[in-house]
């Protein structure tokens, strides 16, 4: 084999179309948001919710679309998810959710009973979260031009604090607090979609987190920023905060809770739980010395790391066997249409 | 899966690393064949625990990386044919062919589906009788039995719309090619536990003897890998070169007899081109004549033209353990997982992807 031919292919020419990875929460999505949306629309905020002052009130404002497949999965459905997702984006800005709008894109032929179940689920989720759905819109498209049902929810909330919660406020000494075990939503949807069965059914963590998040503020924890762990999972959320603040964050893999069944499913399918989507978990960066108190206020809370120094915005992970490596944004799509 | 914890135990891992350092009297270079092992080494930072005199080089065990451009181009051509749906494992879809990859082709209208099992592809064929379902069958010995079952199931169901495009490859011929190359620097080998679960390790015994290299059948967890390395180093220090089985909890010498018999009944060895390496005799598997009605290359007329690859990527050298990803000038610059020059940068078993994702230890 001394005459090995050594070669590799030419660069790709077909990048000028939207790929699934543009919605995957990883690097291509970041490129799309920064290079196309932000460059043209020039939003003032880089967080999931904008904060505005209007008529003497300080408000948070956010919007989110939901395309999850299948629309019913263990632990939730597209309706409850659409409520929780927007409530949680408001909560991460430190806002008490007040009102939501809901817009529906329906595929011709969708069974009315299915739609009823989804909308009932939304109503229940809104009631449990203490938020009202006050306005909405409905469009129907031809069969095959959408997949059953897509929902967009927009939310408004009143800020529950006088300060500012922003990724840029993460500072050296801050402790990183995680609100519970990770990876459940992604693996629950994946198992339902692929018909995979494990010893026990993996149930999504989909839930409103505003009471937990606002509870930190009410109890006087000095919170610098919060982020819910949706697409891209824990790793992507912490990396984005580290970059925005220009700080180095170190996480300790051994302290990050992952349920046994979720870990098994991830192993089987080749996913890294650090990057798997959640719908009822968040991280809070809190002032030095306040991590344990914050964790105790959260059911399942844990201090999983700290901010080390300013400089290159990056995250390092201390692995289970004690070695260190840098965590990076995910390439490509790990799990499409998870929310 | 609870048993995994004991194979990820930091105390055991450190004790094994210390034992490796203690028994080593001189530098050694060991190749782990499987890309899954490469990823585990970098993901857990196993290389950071080892003495610097022990060099781990990475082998060809990434099936999508070695799938030749021509086959990927044929898969894309199939996906673009009216009435054809191409199904494969997700890992295959992002690997660039000569012009594009399957995901980008899908964004332009080609019919491509991700499946987790070849049997799911056969099920698709059962559900979508108006379409030809082609399963792009990629993988080493580990994945062939599943494909054999899917083809057998298709015959049982009388499916006329199911076929496979076989890119299956075999480890032992490739290992011989690498160890027999004058540029080979490999002194010891960690064989891939999963492959041996199916095929056993009898085939490795003549290889250990012929090339004078110890071969240790090794698992994929940190403690497995460190035990495998320790067994290999002990042999090297003692001047021995035999096959040992670290992964005894999953692997028997004769492998899985039933799976092997099924594969032999339905597939036969053929010469196969390995991307970046070249043609290796009898290193691939194709359906035997009596099963050829399920061979997509027989069912569809596909161009077999040769395509040229650009010289910037050193993927071929990486797959032979002759170079490491960081020695490539394009690494992380012209070549990233978003815009790859070669397959090792995109596959979940590719060495370049492992270095890109896990290889940075300092900010």
Which pLDDT does position A126 carry in this prediction?
98
Q: Which tops the pLDDT comparison, A160 or A61?
A: A61
Q: Which domains does chain B have, with CATH numbers?
A: 12-62+171-245 (3.40.50.11750), 68-168+256-296 (3.40.50.11740), 315-357 (no CATH)
Q: d(Cα A123, Cα B118) in Å, to the nearest integer? A: 41
Which pLDDT does position A334 carry in this prediction?
67
Residue A233 pLDDT > 80, yes or no? yes
- Enter the tokens of residue B142: 């580990």
Q: d(Cα A178, Cα A228) in Å, to the nearest integer? A: 10
DSSP label at residue A229: -
**CA of B290 to nearest chain A CA: how many angstroms apart?**
32
Residue of B nearest to A323 (CA): B45
Q: E strands along A160-298, which residues?
A: 175-178, 223-228, 247-252, 282-286
Q: What region, left, alpha or beta, does residue A102 occupy, with left being phi > 0 and alpha being psi -120 to 50 degrees?
A: beta
**CA of A45 to nearest chain B CA: how many angstroms apart?**
26
Query: A269: which chain B residues are within 8 Å (Cβ-Cβ)?
Result: 116
Q: Which domains does chain A have, with CATH numbers?
A: 50-159 (3.30.1330.10), 167-327 (3.90.650.10)
Query: B107: which chain A residues are within 8 Å (Cβ-Cβ)?
Result: 14, 17-20
Q: d(Cα B144, Cα B288) in Å, to the nearest integer? A: 13
Which pLDDT does position B3 carry in this prediction?
57
- Enter the tokens of residue B82: 């009216």
pLDDT tens for chain B, 363 residues long, are: 455 778 989 999 999 999 999 999 999 999 999 999 999 999 999 999 999 999 999 999 999 899 998 999 999 999 999 999 999 988 888 888 888 889 889 989 999 998 988 999 999 999 999 999 999 999 999 999 999 999 999 999 999 999 999 999 999 999 999 999 988 889 999 999 999 999 999 999 999 999 999 999 999 999 999 999 999 999 999 999 999 999 999 999 999 999 999 999 999 999 999 988 889 999 999 999 999 999 999 999 887 677 777 678 888 889 888 889 999 999 988 888 888 888 898 887 889 999 988 887 776
Residue of B nearest to A271 (CA): B348
How far does Cα A29 stand from its chain's mean position?
Answer: 14
- Contact A319/B43, CB-based, under 8 Å? yes
Q: What is the mean pLDDT of residues A291-300?
A: 97
Residue B99's Cβ-count burial label (10 Å; 0-12, 13-18, 19+) is middle
Nearest Cα neighbor of A114 from A146, A145, A79 is A79
- ipTM score here? 0.74
Give the best residue of B358, B359, B361 to mutate against chain A (max A CB count within 10 A). B358
Return the HEC string of B166-228: EEEECHHHHHHHHHHCCCCCCCEEEEEHHHHHHHCCCCHHHHHHHHCCCEEEECCCHHHHHHH
- Contact A331/B337, CB-based, under 8 Å? yes
Q: d(Cα B161, Cα B235) in Å, to the nearest integer? A: 52
Which pLDDT does position B119 carry in this prediction?
94
Nearest Cα neighbor of A155 from A218, A227, A225, A95 is A95
How far does Cα B231 stand from its chain's mean position?
Answer: 23
Strand order across the A302-310 sheet: A223-228, A282-286, A175-178, A302-310, A247-252, A314-318, A324-327
- Contact B309/A8, CB-based, under 8 Å? yes
- Indicate the range of A63-72, A137-146, A321-330, B221-230 predicted with least confidence: A321-330
């Amino acid at each position: 084999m001394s005459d090995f031919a050594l070669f590799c292919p030419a660069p790709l020419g077909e990048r000028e179309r939207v790929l699934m990875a543009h919605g995957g929460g990883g690097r291509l999505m970041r490129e799309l948001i920064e290079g196309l949306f932000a460059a043209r629309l020039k939003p003032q905020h880089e967080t999931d919710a904008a904060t505005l002052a209007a008529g003497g009130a300080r408000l948070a404002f956010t919007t989110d679309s939901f395309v999850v497949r299948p629309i019913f999965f263990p632990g939730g459905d597209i309706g409850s998810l659409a409520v929780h997702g927007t409530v949680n984006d408001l909560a991460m800005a430190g806002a008490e959710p007040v009102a939501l709008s809901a817009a529906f894109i329906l595929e011709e032929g969708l069974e009315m009973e299915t739609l009823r179940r989804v909308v009932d689920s939304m109503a229940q989720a809104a009631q449990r979260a203490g938020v009202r759905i006050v306005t909405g819109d409905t469009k129907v498209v031809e069969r095959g031009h959408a997949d059953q049902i897509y929902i967009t929810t927009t939310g408004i909330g009143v800020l529950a604090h006088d300060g500012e919660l922003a990724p840029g406020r993460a500072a050296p000494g801050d402790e990183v607090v995680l609100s519970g075990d990770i990876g459940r939503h992604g693996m629950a949807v994946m198992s339902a979609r692929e018909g995979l069965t494990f010893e026990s059914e993996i149930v999504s963590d989909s839930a409103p987190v505003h009471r937990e998040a606002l509870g930190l503020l009410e109890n006087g924890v000095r919170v610098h920023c919060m982020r819910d762990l949706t697409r891209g999972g824990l790793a992507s959320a912490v990396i984005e905060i580290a970059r925005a603040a220009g700080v180095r964050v170190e996480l300790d893999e051994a302290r990050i809770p992952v349920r046994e069944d979720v870990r098994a499913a991830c192993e089987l399918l080749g996913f890294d739980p650090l990057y798997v989507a959640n719908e009822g978990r968040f991280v809070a960066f809190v002032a030095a010395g306040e991590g344990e108190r914050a964790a105790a206020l959260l059911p399942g809370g844990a201090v999983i790391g700290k901010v080390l120094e300013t400089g290159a915005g990056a995250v390092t992970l201390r692995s289970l066997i004690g070695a260190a490596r840098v965590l990076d944004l995910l390439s490509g799509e790990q799990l499409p249409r998870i929310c | 899966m609870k048993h995994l914890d004991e194979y990820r135990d930091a105390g055991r891992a450190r004790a094994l690393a210390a034992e490796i350092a203690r028994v080593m009297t001189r530098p050694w270079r060991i190749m782990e064949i499987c890309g899954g092992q490469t990823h585990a080494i970098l993901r857990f930072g196993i290389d950071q625990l080892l003495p610097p005199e022990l060099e781990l080089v990475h082998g060809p065990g990434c099936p999508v990386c070695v799938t030749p451009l021509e086959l990927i181009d044929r898969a894309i051509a199939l996906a673009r044919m009216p009435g054809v749906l191409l199904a494969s494992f997700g890992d295959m879809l992002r690997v660039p062919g000569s012009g594009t990859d399957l995901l980008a082709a899908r964004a332009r209208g080609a019919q491509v589906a991700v499946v987790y099992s070849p049997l799911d592809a056969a099920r698709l064929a059962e559900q979508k009788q108006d379409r030809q379902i082609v399963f792009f069958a990629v993988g080493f010995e580990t994945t062939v039995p599943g494909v054999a079952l899917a083809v057998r199931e298709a015959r049982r169901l009388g499916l006329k719309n199911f076929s496979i495009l076989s890119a299956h490859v075999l480890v032992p011929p490739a290992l011989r090619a690498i160890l027999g190359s004058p540029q080979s620097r490999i002194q010891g080998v960690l064989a891939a536990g999963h492959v041996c679960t199916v095929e056993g390790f009898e085939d490795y015994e003549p290889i250990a003897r012929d090339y004078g290299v110890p071969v240790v059948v090794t698992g994929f967890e940190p403690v497995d890998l460190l035990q495998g390395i320790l067994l290999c180093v002990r042999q090297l220090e003692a001047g021995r070169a035999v096959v040992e089985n670290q992964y005894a909890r999953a692997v028997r010498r004769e492998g899985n007899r039933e799976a092997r018999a099924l594969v032999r009944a339905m597939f036969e060895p053929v010469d196969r081109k390995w991307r970046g390496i070249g043609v290796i005799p009898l290193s691939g598997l194709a359906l035997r004549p009596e099963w050829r009605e399920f061979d997509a290359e027989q069912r569809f007329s596909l161009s077999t033209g040769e395509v040229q690859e650009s010289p910037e990527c050193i993927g071929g050298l990486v797959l032979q353990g002759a170079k490491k990803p960081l020695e490539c000038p394009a690494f992380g610059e012209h070549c990233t997982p978003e815009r790859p020059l070669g397959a090792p940068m995109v596959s979940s078993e590719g060495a370049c992807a492992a270095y890109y994702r896990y290889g940075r230890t300092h900010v």
